Amino acid sequence: MQVHFRNGYTSRIWIAIMRYDPAGCGQYGNWATKGWWSIQPGESVYAFNTNNRYFCYYAEAQDGRVWNGPYGPIYVYRDAFDSCVNIGSTAAYGTVGTKLKDGGNVDRFTVNLIQ
């Protein structure tokens, strides 16, 4: 499944994700983490492919709006990152919780971030 994000909100949004990846992160919690995608209002981005129907995301808008949840937490950094859920670093500025999405059994799934 291809996972895309669409910014249906009124401000620029930054997105971080958590996806199931036991091959790459088996020793570190089985979940890969990655960020940041920057999306202007009305734009869409392709984020990743997965064979798992579940994935998680965290998003924050330039105006302070946040989309988060109870899954994770994941370590986040000021710059782009690509890691695993149980790998932290002193370079991280904190941790965030993520929202779980069920992409079902489709070839392409788009998360539409709105108010």
For 80-98, the pLDDT digits (tens) are: 999 999 998 888 999 999 9
User: What does the pLDDT look like over 51-78, one tens digit per residue?
Assistant: 999 999 999 999 999 999 999 999 999 9
Number of folded domains in the chain? Answer: 1
Q: How confident is the model at residue 108 (pLDDT cuts 50, 70, 90)?
A: very high
Q: Which residue, among 16, 4, 106, has the nearest Cα to 46 in the 3D structure?
A: 4
**Domain, as residue range, for 52:** 2-113
Distance from the Cα of residue 34 to its chain's centroid: 7
pTM confidence score = 0.94
CATH code, domain with 25: 2.60.40
